[in-house]
Amino acid sequence: MGSAGFLGQHQYDGPRLLNHLKALNIRLQGFHFSLYREAGANAALDELMMTDGMGAGSTEWDFANGSLTPKLMQHIRQLPNMVTSLTFHDPLLSHHAAMPLLHQYLCDHNSSHLLHLRAPQATYPIAHMDLFRRIPEPINILKSFDRAAALAEIKATPRGVWKCRNLETLHIGFEIPGGWGTRHQPEQSRVVFGYIARVLPRLCELFIHTQVENHVFPFQKLRLEGGFCLLAKLKWLERLQICDQRTPLPPKQLHDLEWMVSVGWTEKGRDKRRRAMAPWRKPILLEDEKEAKRVASIERLCSGSGSTGNGSRGGSGVSKGMKWGSTVDEALKEELRHLGRLLDVKLWLDEMVSPESSGDGSENRPWPSLRMIAIACNRVYGSPPLSEFYRLERAREYARYENRR
């Protein structure tokens, strides 16, 4: 039997229901049970299913509202290494405590078979992806902001590389370090886009959702220096959705998004990007200085403790201070070495604007498989890339007109 589902209209007895299903002696690939507006009952039933072993052979797990709890995530981490699909429907705001355990699961070998992760209303902390701590300290406008507590939380946040590198579907939201009221900085989006592009190369569907109720989405401007173009490395990506209609309009400069379409590959389009990147030279030099100081500081600490400063043998100086784990291959480490830096964006754009990047057979051609894309709109299926670019262009012109009124 492929799956089973029950739409609860009355108060069900969870244990009795599970015992009845066991008595039927059927093999379930997927199982979902939920009671409308009964988050506590759903969570208890989900955890009962996990602990009772009923789903030991299930490959698809679909959890109801309120189920994403630390206890449930502990159970999921104990599942056999065969789960291919995880879905969490509209978790409550209290799900924040479960995020570190979700991160640990994604970094465990038990997640290596995962192909589909759908948690559209979850807010996954970006700090988990900031492998080299390159996101600056949060600048928060709220008077109630506790800087010391925020920095302590960021420092305590575990970092790691997801093991589910064959993931094909990802629906998720993100939380910026510092929380509500924190100023958006380009390093935040460069970390997320660069991490996804390198760690999850087989993605076919990527939806990054706005979290208005909890934390303002940090990538709405999608400027060139923000690293949105890094997602163009995803060669198998067919559908991409960033935010929804509540997100502010796209950037004022067309060169920020022109690389998405053929007009950006003309000599004029390439020249605009080169001129846009010209002022980056000084910031990149400053990045180099900061990086040299960071590595030197780690080396001093390591020499005092007798440690190598790296979680695995070998690796460049950049990798020092990052515990990679034994299963992270050297090629991926090399790809991630500039994660979060402006240099990471420039190196990719240099490849994109070179003559070798044009032509159907080029490996550096952006998004060769992309069919539908939606940016800052609520279109469920999106539009072809060219249509979406022209829609964004019209929105940009309309915003300029409104600002002149």
In the predicted model, what is the mean pLDDT of residues 187-194? 94
Q: Is residue 336 part of a domain?
A: no
* pLDDT score of 93: 54
Overall domain count for the chain: 1
In the predicted model, what is the mean pLDDT of residues 7-26? 67
Q: What is the mean pLDDT of the chain?
A: 79
* pLDDT score of 129: 96
374 Cα distance to chain centroid: 17
Give the full edge-to-edge strand order of the sheet including 3-8: 3-8, 30-35, 60-63, 85-88, 116-125, 169-175, 205-209, 239-242, 372-375
Q: Is residue 352 part of a domain?
A: no
Domain of 13 in residue numbering reads as: 3-265+365-404
Express each pLDDT in 240-283 by its tens digit: 998 766 665 666 677 788 888 888 888 888 888 899 999 999 99
Q: Is residue 121 part of a domain?
A: yes
Q: Is residue 332 part of a domain?
A: no
Q: Is residue 273 part of a domain?
A: no
Q: Is residue 311 part of a domain?
A: no
Q: Is residue 203 part of a domain?
A: yes
* pLDDT score of 228: 92
Express each pLDDT in 22-55 by its tens digit: 777 777 666 666 665 566 666 666 666 666 655 5
Q: Is residue 272 part of a domain?
A: no
Q: How far apart are CA 79 and CA 240, in angstroms?
A: 30
In the predicted model, what is the mean pLDDT of residues 189-193? 95
Element at 23 (helix H, strand E): helix 14-24
Name the nearest CA neighbour of 299 among 316, 274, 278, 286: 316
